[in-house]
Structure 1
Amino acid sequence: MNSKMWMLGFLLFCSSGMAQSASSTSTVLAAGDIGMCNLKAPFWTGDLMRDQLQKDPLAVVLALGDLAYPVGSSSDFQNCYDPAWGSFKDRTHPAPGNHEYGTANAAPYFQYFREKAARGYYSMAFNNWKVISLNSNLKGEAMQAQLNWLRSDLESSSSKCTLAFWHHPLVSSGYHGNNSVMQEAWNILQEKHADLVLVGHDHHYERFAPLNSSGAPDPEGIRQFIVGTGGAVLYRTLFVKAGSEKRVNGQFGVLKLNLQDDQYTWQFLAAHPRIKGKVLDSGSARCYPK
């Protein structure tokens, strides 16, 4: 083989490797606590989402509950959520919040998202990542059915990395504080070496070190992000909990995750028009070996 042919082969190999590397990255944009009528903030975060989605045609949105205030009615979805976030509904994967259940059985939520909402919990595959939406509003037999499904779904998964999202945080330094409703789900996820949990409910941004299901820092636990900054009135943080690594108050915004082959990066992006896209928190971490 002459030198020109060798060089051509080398360049083709590099080009192929770069393409594979690029294709193994998925962009996820997430926020909850969104559609509060008469506020500009849902439109700010919606505009930020559209900017990010235009940059990456394969990016998806995770909506972390409390999407349409005050009671998740059909008119709340029509008037308070849809004008701000409805334009990218086809790229949005939702989880319900407690305000959706302000209307019986969260019926308008399921009607609005239809097959996207599934039965209230579902999973997807993004390259080497499994992404799971759960419903933190269930109780009794309904919650047990969800937990049984979760265990079965994880046992059948061959994904290198796992992200789960729902509404109520296990641990929070915010107004609502800690919530144990998803403790058993957390146990199952940790047993299967999940990497990330995204939640809302408290209206601030907070990043935690990996936690176990008791809410204590644990190097073999799961990292939690609270992103209750999608458009509803913001809350202060109160008593800072163990494992809290970063808190942002007073800024609406969106969490941007780049899910790579065996690792991830994060950025919390400000949504206010004066500083739209400003990075307020960032970092990276590897997935747990499976």
Structure 2
Amino acid sequence: MQSPTPFARIGTRGSPLALVQARLVQEKLAQAHGIDPASIEIKVISTGGDRSQQSNASLTEIGGKGLFTKEIDQALLSGAIDLGVHSCKDVASVLPKGIALPAFLEREDVRDAFISVIAGDLDELPRGARFGTSSIRRTAQVLRRRPDLVIVPFRGNVDTRLQKLVDGVAEATMLAVAGLNRLGQGHRATAYLDPSQFMPAPAQGAVGIAIRQEDQRLAALVAPLDHRETHLGIVAERALLRVLDGSCRTPVGALSRLEGDMVLLRGEIISLDGQTTVADSVTGPAGDAEALGAALGQRLLDGAGSEVLARWAQS
């Protein structure tokens, strides 16, 4: 006897954090439609980003953010799954043809956490200490504050990176507070970094739901899960990133806030050595979130100038 057809099939990476996020979508989808969560299937899909974790190379070096979503997008387009669940900061700024990102769960804490077994905060690290990260944004932000630190490659899931600290691979690292909280490991944070000084990655802390662009049934199913404030902020931040991705490979930070019907968006681009920062902000109607993000991205490019960007690209 054949198993009943699932209400929906969720595709996700197999990391502990990805599975927590997929189960959260499963639970919320079941609640929204009054069904048993067990009728919503979760399918684990191995991605190129997962398979590359052992290399310790930064995502910029090996192909960019799409490495964590490509195979899930392919499964979505082929009809093997109905929904893709992603950490939004891992989603490429330009979606593949036929894919839409219509819904976002309420955003978690956007900040980064400083984690160390020897120091209470970044300033307490001894001179020349090793800081573990493979994020070009975090590298630039750390070097901007502490140019004496030595950056060492540091990839892997949350538990892997925490274990590397214990093993002495580095004296400190930086992780997203959202991921720690979702895994029940918020207590691992040694200190919380001020987002005005350590601006998060665009879309950090948000979980997005991807569907096939023309699938009206799925669009209606996920609509109740969409959190308006999060949605507007992510649209603005991703629009900013889309402009910058098209022009330079450089560390990008973004931070949005909704106040009434107005979006406040701040952004920055930083040289890889952390010694030069171009920052700006925009405010405008929430309905213009995408246009505001694109405008700020262009202002950051204009503020840096072609000579600076060329120099950064060669560094």
TM more than 0.5: no
| Greater percentage in helix | 2
